[in-house]
Structures are given as C-alpha cells and as structure tokens.
A and B are shown apart, each in its own frame.
Chain A
C-alpha cells in the first residue's frame, strides 16, 4: 500500500504568505458552509483585489458561492468603476452595486458636506441599507488589523446586532480556528479574512500572484491640486477650483483608494509592481495617512465602526 512506501520527503516550510493565504481560504469556506446568505463587500482597492483572488482559490473549481457587492458613494475614481466591472466578470460572480438614493436625492457630497457626513450617509448608512435589502447574514470585508488601533481588536467573525452595531466590549471570544458564525433573525456577521495580513503582505502577495489592481496604484502624470495638506486628483469637473487655480500635472500614485476628493496621492515614480513594493517597504507614513476620514481624532474609526462602518 502506498502509505507504507518510502516516507514522504520533508515538506518545504510554508512561508508566511502561504500561511496567511491558507488561513484566509479556511475562513472563507467556513462562511460558505455556515452562513445562509453571504456576500463579499468589494471596494475595488488592492485589499479587495486580494480578497477576491483568495475567494477564487478557496472554492475552485466552483465559482465563489456568493455575490460581490460594491457600496458606491458615486465619488469614486472613474477608473475604479471600469476596473470593478471587469473584475466581477473575470471571477464569474454576480455584482450588486448599491447607492444610497436618498443621499443622492439630498445632494450629499464630500465637498460641501465634509468627509464625515458624506461617509456616514453614502457609506455607513448605504451599507446598512444594502445589507437589510438583500438580507445578507454574513458580509466579507477586506479590513486588516494592522490598519488602525480599533481594528486590532476586531474578531475575524465580528458579530453585528440587528441595527448593525458593533459592541467592542462584548465580542465573542474567538479561539483556534473555531469561528462562531451563528446569528439569528436580522443579526449578521462581518467577516475579515485578511485580518492577519499587513500592508506589506498584501503587496508582496499581489506581486507573487500577479493579481490585477487598478492603474491608480501605479505612478503616472495626473492633474492634482492641494487640499488640506493632501494632493487631490481632479478626476472630473465636480471638484471646485479656487479663482485662478489650475490643476498641476504631477507624477503621482495612490497607496489606498477611496472617494477621489478624500484620497490623497503621493508623489512617486513607481510604475511597476516591483517598484511599488519597494516603495511601500521603505515607506515612512502609514497608508491611512492619505485618508481624510481617519485623521480627526484617534477614536474616529472606533466611532464609525460602532455605528456600522466597515
């Protein structure tokens, strides 16, 4: 019998990317097995790209057994919309796009209402609307624990009440690989398969697996203006110019992608994945530094999360 044949050769040690990958696959399968109606939140960024790639691996040869959902604020970079539609098609998955129509009717936008209110209405409220509308009981998100302090305490399977609220002081203990996915009624789970990944891991994995990401991550000459200490790309004509102000063309790229008026570019000459990874590993500021919404105070993220933000 084969099991009595020569002993198996010593396995090559798994490197840390292999370990992270396998852990993520296990988490995703657990959701598919235990949730009634799961969905994968897709935000078009690099983390979403990695998460989608992992989902394809987890269920191969099946297509991932859940749809993708993009909660659209209507203020994303134009290129993100194109990339999103192509990515869903490549994966053979259904794409749900949800926009808070009330917010649109009220004319909510990041420029006149500010980042906090815009995010509250067009992301947090909109996400809750979408989860209620489709009755999803589990939603994958690409958040990582290394992003922010309150995220560091987030469970992989994070329980949300009927009103989508997170109670950081009353989280379920999470031991071993034994995730408790049980919910009842309109309660739900947010599941974070990339919890243990760092920004550097994400980039190295994109490089290793050759995962498609939006071109905005690569440096290119782009029209930008200075706003509140950030380089903002003029992606369409909705961004008001001061009198006499004209966008400058600078060689820039983005480390993180969000609503274009809220996402700061960095000056860079990195035009290949290798160069981006090298630049990231030598970076002296964290990626969220380019996000206006996180800067106000240390507990900004925790507050948003309690209210239902990802």
Chain B
C-alpha cells in the first residue's frame, strides 16, 4: 500500500475566462462515491461540499432550513443530510436507502457524486455507485474507528476497480481534534487494506458538520499538513491512459440510412483508431480496414477512448451489434467460458445450473453458472465453500455461455470485462460480474444429467420456438425482411436460424427441380427441417416462395398450435418484375425459365396469414419491426 499526498497543485487557469463555467476548464470531470457506515455522516459531508462550494440556490437553502426544523437531527442548525436524502421514506426514517447522484463544480473540475448507503442490505447499491466512480471517499466516525462496514466498503471499492481512496476520518471534533486518535485509525485501516490494490490512499481528518478540512483548512488540526478534501478532489490525477491500451470498439448499433452506407456505431472503450488502420471483428476474425470515422460534426482523423463514433469499413464484413472491433494484432480473448467475480444483488439466491441472461458490453447472451469456486466473506476476506450466492454475497464463479464472446479481463478493461446478470423471468438485474480469465471447455464443463427434451431446450434458450414462414413471389422481399427480422431477434437474445430457398436448394434439396411435384416435395422437406429446429427450441425463419396453399397448410399442421406464423410478403408482380434482383423475370419473360411462379406457374396468395406485409406501403425495416413486435406479443400470450 502506498499513501500519497499530492504536493503540487494543478494550476488553475490564469484569470477567469469570461464564459468558462466552473469545471469546464482542462481539469475535466471527477466521478467519486462516498461510502461508510450508517451514521458516519456521508450525506452531511456531501451537503457540506455543496453548501461550501456555493452550489445551493437561495430557494434550496430556504427549503433546507424549513426541512431541518421539521425532520432534522441537528437541533437548530442546518441539517445538511436533508439535502441529499431525497426520497420521502428516507427523510422520515433518517437513513439513506438508495444511490443518489449529486453534482457540483469548482473552477478546476466538475464533480458527479454518488452517495451510497451504509446498511449491509444495500451493499449492492455501493457496488452500483462504485462501478462508475474514479475515486471513493470512505468515511469513518473518529469515535468508532474502523468497523466491519469500513472493511466491506474498502473491499467492494477495490473489487470494482477503484484505485484511489480517501479515508475521511469524520467527526474529528468529537474526539477533541486528537492527532493520536487519527493516527491510530489510519494504522488500523492500513492493516485492513494491505492486500488491496489501491494506488493512493489519502487520510484526512475532518468534520462534515462544522466544515473542518472539507473546503477550508481547519485551525483545529494544526498537526495535519495535507490537503483539504476539496483540494484533494480537485487535483488528484485519476486518468488511466486508456488511449495507450488495445483498441476496442463494442458495436452498439449498425447505422444503415440507405443501401450505400453501412456504419458501425459505438463508444470506443480503449485505444485509438485512424482511417486506413487494419481492423478485425474479434469473435469471427474477419479482417478489413477503417474507411471513415463518421460523426455529425464531420469525419475524424483519429478517434479516442470515450468518443461515440461511427466507423465505416473498406469491405462488406459480417458484423453486428455485440461484436467488438479490434486491431488484428491485439485480439481479446474469445471463449464461451470464463471465471468471474460476481456480486449478487437479488433476494432470490443465485443457483448454479439456472440459466440467466448476461449483458457483456453490447452483447446479450444466455449463460449459466457451472461452478461457484468459493464466496468471499466481505468482512474477513476469507474464502468459503458454497452452493449458492445470496443477496450481497460476492463469489468467484465459472460461467458457461450459450455462445462464445470476446472479452478482456476486468482488470485490463472495465468496459469489455464487466457484465450484468439478468433474470429471464422477471428481467431484473440480479448480479454484477467482473471477468477474471477465460476457461477452456474440455476441463471445465460440468454436465448435469437430465432428459433433454423440447421443454429443456426452451428453458435453456429462454424463449418459445416459432416458425416464421415467409411466403411471396420471387423478388417480393422475403429474404430481405427475414434477414432484418433475424438480426433484430438475435440482438434481443433469441436463438434463430434462417432457411431459405438458396441455402436449402444447394444442399438438402439439390435433387429437386421446379415442377409442381418437386415444389411440393421441396416444401415438405423444408417444413420437416423447420419442425426439427423448432423441437430444438430455435426460432426458425423460412423464406420460400411456397406458392401452394396446401403445402403451407401441411407445414402449419406439423407444428403445435400457435407456433406457425405465416407471413405474406405481398408485392405486386409488376413491382417484382421491375426489381428483378436476380434477373429471373427477364429470363422468364423471354421464355428461358419454365414453371416460373407468377408467370408460368400459379401463386396462391394466403387467405388468412398471421401477418400481411405490403411492401409497397412501408420499407423493409418498418415491416421487420412489425414482425418482431408481433412475435414478442405472441410469445407473451
């Protein structure tokens, strides 16, 4: 452990810039959280910071004075805690029950403060506040010294990767501004955090209630030579130089305003990139190079960490939401198994074997915990064997994912190494995870003996299987819409598979031609394949001309009621002929193709399709969204 007290102060701007608001100078922004035990005075400290740095408006002070008389615990004086204890229940009970975010700015920096509760049952909220903080202010009551809560909060701050800690020894007035007491607490604390990886630990003796060493150096502590809390917050250097790390762009949204532009939008997690740089889709290894870095304010020569940009690539590569763009020589790990720290945040315990949804970066993927190596007693830091994790418990777990994902260790990169755990039934966020390292499948899979039937598949996949049957003329837009639907479903975490005329006719059905008999057999085989996929719990998209009602009815009859969804892609033949994406109409009209649907072979339009999409009235994206909406509503019936 290193204890540093910054000796030099960052220079402020020379003279006030006319319109530069406090905090907008080069000092940028600091996000910190306050934590500590129940009555250590966190809220009071934040209230004091806001008050002393002149962040309160007159009407807020008026409200504060009125509320202090009504609910306050500070007698006739202003109770600063009432400023930040926002919710009604808290004001009544005099406790903080959730994370509250507060904002203030000085000439050097602007600050976002997460005020997090001290009660044990709200430890999850502290983890929440810590996940976005650069620094933690950990309060202890000078009379009580280091408590169990103090140890827990130091541990969570460390676990969440906070590297800078302030030990705020509060209520120093109540121990007579005693230096020995202060030194004793500092020594106690050092022994607690000896094994943690904090880069700086800065102890400050202060009184939040009276303001000693908060923003003004106290005359009551002449033995203390360090900075006031505010000076420290204004000057500490917390920036990890993310620009020097490997380039990572988690693809958040595919930007496709028209057929000529395909961009990958996302926020750069680390590293820098320039047009011309080689790039790889991490999970597939497909390579290309950056063509442009597009923003509303013009193209950039270089993009940096934290910037929300849109990259276009030199080649048409298969890349979508959830992928990570990286440099070919700086690849992240790609695995469907990893070890991670998990903080459990739900009343319902975490159970190995149960399927949860993980959100890792921009990727949603189903996963189960294959093994809890141990849990960590957050008070003693001991490792304890366990079969489950309860609310507020922290464990080291092995996870098995439905598909491989790209990631870095959390220690290396918070943005590509963190995940949340979502309950599939309630959609609640039930856990937070930090990846340690990838695992190899062979050595770590723990099989569970069970009959794997359709119900089991559905449980694992987390959704019901459906067969989406797109029917319509050649060139009507079936595959275009089906592809958009599949991409959207995939991003929502559905397991999907698309069967279309082209991929099936080249393999399974390559012995079939286009006579009526062959068309019937073609559809029969496809329907049977779709049924197998549905049995496997997969949401199957079939796009076939399938011109005859009888065969579509046969396909429908193969599936359980409600699973077959007929989508009529209705495009007038003149429009199809005009589009003619494969030049087939031209050939058919020239008599070069026989039995061409709509020309020399009939198309029997559906009588009662579940969905009737008129492509001349809406664009494919809109139609695809209609299909997805329909499906989700159907699933919830």
Interface residues of A (CB under 8 A from B): 1-3, 8, 10-11, 13-19, 21-22, 25-26, 29-30, 32-34, 36-37, 56-63, 135, 145-146, 149-153, 168-169, 171-178, 180, 182-185, 195-196, 198, 200-201, 204, 207, 274, 277-278, 281, 283-286, 289, 298-299, 302
When each residue 327-349 of chain B gets 1 if its CB lies under 8 Å from chain A and 0 otherwise, what string results?
10100000000000000010000
Contact of B418 among A19, A135, A176 (CB under 8 A): A176
Chain B residues within an 8 Å CB radius of A26: 252, 267, 308
Contact of B267 among A10, A25, A286 (CB under 8 A): A25
Chain A residues within an 8 Å CB radius of B359: 178, 180
Chain B residues within an 8 Å CB radius of A62: 255-257
Alpha-carbon distance A294/B91, docked complex (angstroms): 18
Alpha-carbon distance A235/B22, docked complex (angstroms): 36
CB distance from A225 to the nearest CB of B (A): 22
Contact between B429 and A174 (Cβ–Cβ < 8 Å)?
A: yes
CB distance from A299 to the nearest CB of B (A): 5
Alpha-carbon distance A153/B429, docked complex (angstroms): 17
Alpha-carbon distance A173/B422, docked complex (angstroms): 11
Contact of B63 among A19, A200, A281, A298 (CB under 8 A): A298
Contact between B58 and A61 (Cβ–Cβ < 8 Å)?
A: no
Contact between A196 and B98 (Cβ–Cβ < 8 Å)?
A: no
Chain A residues within an 8 Å CB radius of B427: 180, 182-184
Contact between B422 and A180 (Cβ–Cβ < 8 Å)?
A: yes
> Does B176 count as interface, using CB distance less than 8 angstroms?
no
B358's nearest neighbour on chain A, judged by CB, is: A178
Chain B residues within an 8 Å CB radius of A17: 24
Contact between B491 and A150 (Cβ–Cβ < 8 Å)?
A: no
Q: Which one of B102-110, B401-409, B540-548, B610-618 is at the interface?
A: B102-110
> Does B59 count as interface, using CB distance less than 8 angstroms?
yes
Contact between A285 and B86 (Cβ–Cβ < 8 Å)?
A: no
Contact between B88 and A302 (Cβ–Cβ < 8 Å)?
A: yes
Q: Which one of B205-213, B478-486, B625-633 is at the interface?
A: B625-633
Contact between A177 and B296 (Cβ–Cβ < 8 Å)?
A: no
Contact of B272 among A8, A151, A299 (CB under 8 A): A8
CB distance from A183 to the nearest CB of B (A): 7
CB distance from A143 to the nearest CB of B (A): 12
Q: Which one of B120-128, B145-153, B375-383, B520-528 is at the interface?
A: B120-128
Contact between B19 and A278 (Cβ–Cβ < 8 Å)?
A: yes
When each residue 248-271 of chain B gets 1 if its CB lies under 8 Å from chain A and 0 otherwise, what string results?
000011011100010101110000
Chain A residues within an 8 Å CB radius of B102: 145-146, 152
A62's nearest neighbour on chain B, judged by CB, is: B257
CB distance from A72 to the nearest CB of B (A): 26
Contact between B88 and A177 (Cβ–Cβ < 8 Å)?
A: no
Contact between A302 and B21 (Cβ–Cβ < 8 Å)?
A: no
A8's nearest neighbour on chain B, judged by CB, is: B272
Chain A residues within an 8 Å CB radius of B428: 172, 180
Contact between A173 and B128 (Cβ–Cβ < 8 Å)?
A: yes
Contact between A33 and B277 (Cβ–Cβ < 8 Å)?
A: no
Interface residues of B (CB under 8 A from A): 19, 21-26, 28-29, 57-60, 63, 67, 83-89, 91, 97-103, 105, 109-110, 112, 124-125, 127-128, 131-132, 239, 243, 252-253, 255-257, 261, 263, 265-267, 272, 274, 276-278, 294-297, 302, 304-308, 310, 321, 327, 329, 345, 357, 359, 361-362, 414-415, 418-420, 422, 427-429, 432, 491-492, 625, 628-629, 632, 636
Chain B residues within an 8 Å CB radius of A3: 277-278, 327, 329
Contact between B91 and A298 (Cβ–Cβ < 8 Å)?
A: yes
Chain A residues within an 8 Å CB radius of B19: 204, 207, 274, 277-278
- A33-B491 contact given A17-B24, A174-B429, A278-B19, CB 8 Å threshold: yes
Contact of B345 among A33, A173, A185, A289 (CB under 8 A): A173
Contact of A204 among B21, B28, B85, B304 (CB under 8 A): B21
Contact of B58 among A180, A281, A284 (CB under 8 A): A284
Alpha-carbon distance A60/B261, docked complex (angstroms): 11
CB distance from A250 to the nearest CB of B (A): 21
Contact between A178 and B59 (Cβ–Cβ < 8 Å)?
A: no
Contact between A2 and B274 (Cβ–Cβ < 8 Å)?
A: yes
Top 4 A-B residue pairs of the complex, sorted by shortest distance between their CB atoms = A149-B86, A25-B308, A60-B296, A62-B257
Contact between A281 and B21 (Cβ–Cβ < 8 Å)?
A: yes
Contact between A184 and B636 (Cβ–Cβ < 8 Å)?
A: yes
Contact of B100 among A33, A153, A198 (CB under 8 A): A153
20 cross-chain CB contacts under 8 A: A2-B277, A8-B274, A10-B243, A11-B305, A16-B29, A21-B308, A26-B252, A30-B252, A33-B252, A36-B629, A57-B297, A61-B261, A145-B103, A171-B98, A196-B112, A200-B22, A201-B21, A274-B19, A283-B57, A299-B88
Contact between A175 and B21 (Cβ–Cβ < 8 Å)?
A: no
